């Protein structure tokens, strides 16, 4: 099981072997679905809120006497049936975040990586070294991949992150932050040899 490897200038340099445990596993769409739902739920702010009748100011006094007016009985002008009253069963501030079991998250990540490999969407690069970050060098580095949505993964490479952050359809993440949602969102995975080794050691164990 192999993937293409490129140099910093974008030229090809043969292939590299991939770990079958990480990149050759059976793809579980159910696990991918569960993981994406979890990640999107964890991204929610949960700040939507409406006022219930106890939150609306005023309305503490009974608007008129119980009997003898010909009107329907009312206890407060802030009841939900009144204009300006509270909302019934409206949204409240809440935390939507939750976590799947660790093994499920690991298997989902392996499924996403295996799917990328099966579709031929993984490219490995040796290293990206610059004294100062330059978008021009980032464009040359991406080459033809710049025309598609590309996820760039490396290990503690601030200059690479700054060199590609202004390029359309491209995102940089550190290998420790690699996740299912980004892998599915971007067409190609461009990963460094050091990040690849770190990822295989983490997921194959």
Q: Report residue 6's pLDDT band, with 50, 70 and 90 as the boundaries.
A: confident
According to DSSP H, which parts of 92-133 are helical?
Answer: 102-118
Structure tokens at 203: 């997921």
Q: Report residue 150's pLDDT band, with 50, 70 and 90 as the boundaries.
A: confident
Do residues 176 and 200 touch, judged by C-beta distance below 8 A? no
Q: Report residue 58's pLDDT band, with 50, 70 and 90 as the boundaries.
A: confident
Rounded CA-CA distance 187/118 in Å is 12
Q: Report residue 110's pLDDT band, with 50, 70 and 90 as the boundaries.
A: very high
Rounded CA-CA distance 178/170 in Å is 14
**Structure-token match 């990149």, residue found:** 23
Q: Which CATH architecture has domain 2-44+97-204?
A: 3-Layer(aba) Sandwich (3.40)
Q: Provide the percentage of residues in the chain whose pLDDT is more than 90.
A: 62
What pLDDT shows up at residue 204? 86
What does the domain layout of the chain look like in residue ranges?
A: 2-44+97-204, 47-95
The one-character DSSP state at 156 is: S
The one-character DSSP state at 143 is: G
φ, ψ at 61 (rounded to 5°): -95, 140
Do residues 110 and 25 touch, judged by C-beta distance below 8 A? yes
Do residues 186 and 166 touch, judged by C-beta distance below 8 A? no
Give yes or no for residue 67 having a pLDDT over 80. yes
Beta sheet of 12-17, edge-to-edge order: 12-17, 2-6, 122-125, 188-192, 150-154, 170-174
Do residues 68 and 115 touch, judged by C-beta distance below 8 A? no
SS3 196: helix
Rounded CA-CA distance 195/96 in Å is 31
């Amino acid at each position: 099981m192999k993937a293409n490897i490129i140099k910093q200038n974008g030229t090809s340099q043969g292939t590299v072997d991939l770990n079958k445990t990480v990149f050759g596993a059976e793809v579980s769409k159910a696990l991918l679905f569960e993981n994406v739902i979890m990640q999107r739920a964890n991204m929610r702010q949960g700040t939507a809120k409406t006022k219930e009748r106890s939150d609306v100011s005023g309305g503490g006094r009974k608007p008129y006497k119980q009997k003898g007016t010909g009107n329907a009985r009312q206890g407060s002008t802030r009841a939900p049936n009144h204009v300006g009253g509270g909302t019934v069963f409206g949204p409240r501030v809440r935390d939507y975040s939750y976590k799947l079991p660790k093994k499920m998250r690991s298997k989902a990540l392996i499924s996403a990586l295996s799917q990328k490999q099966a579709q031929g969407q993984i490219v490995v690069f040796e290293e990206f070294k610059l004294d100062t970050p330059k978008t021009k060098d980032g464009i040359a580095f991406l080459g033809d991949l710049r025309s598609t949505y590309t996820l760039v993964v490396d290990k503690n490479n601030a200059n690479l992150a700054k060199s590609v952050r202004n390029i359309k359809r491209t995102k940089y993440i550190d290998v420790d932050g690699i996740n299912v949602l980004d892998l599915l969102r971007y067409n190609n995975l461009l990963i460094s040899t050091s990040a690849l080794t770190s990822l295989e050691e983490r997921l194959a164990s």
